[in-house]
């Protein structure tokens, strides 16, 4: 690719040449503060949350047990949350960027994900990540 004053030739015709020189500071600012980007991340996060809820294990018999024990235990499937997050990327200079975390707040989330030593985990968040990877163009 031909270079001109630090830019890259992106279009070349007999009558016109167009060069692009990225503005790193502007790109980083957009990645950190853009409401449009935050909206896209939230939309992707909602798709991930919906998928995780659908594939999560659920036993309706637990509702009956809870009503007798008077213990309020959140179902794994109903305990997913999305949290906006600023990711601090390493490098020189460090480049923070927006992200969305999908977490599960139930007290037994660890055991559902990874198992308890005698049972295999369901790996719901890992399967959700695999699903998001398949959606990529």
pTM: predicted TM-score of the whole model, two decimal places: 0.72
Q: What is the percent of the chain where pLDDT is above 90?
A: 37
pLDDT-derived band of residue 67, with 50, 70 and 90 as boundaries?
low
Predicted confidence (pLDDT) per residue in 113-131, tens digit? 999 888 888 999 999 999 9
Predicted confidence (pLDDT) per residue in 12-50, tens digit? 899 988 888 888 888 888 888 889 999 999 999 999 999
Q: CA of 15: how far to CAs of 18, 42, 65, 66, 110, in Å?
A: 10, 43, 77, 75, 63
Which residues fall within 8 angstroms of residue 85, CB to CB, at 6 or more apart? 98, 99, 100, 101
């Amino acid at each position: 690719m031909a270079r001109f004053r630090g830019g890259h030739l992106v279009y070349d015709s007999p009558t016109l040449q167009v060069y692009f020189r990225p503005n790193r500071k502007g790109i980083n600012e957009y990645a950190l503060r853009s409401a449009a980007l935050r909206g896209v991340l939230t939309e992707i996060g909602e798709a991930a949350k919906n998928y995780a809820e659908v594939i999560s294990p659920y036993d309706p018999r637990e509702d009956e047990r809870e009503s007798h024990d008077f213990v309020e235990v959140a179902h794994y499937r109903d305990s997913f949350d999305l949290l906006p997050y600023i990711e601090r990327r390493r490098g020189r200079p460090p480049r923070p960027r927006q992200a969305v975390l999908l977490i599960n707040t139930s007290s037994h989330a660890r055991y559902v994900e990874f198992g308890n030593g005698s049972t295999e985990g369901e790996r719901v968040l890992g399967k959700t990540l695999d699903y998001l990877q398949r959606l990529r163009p």
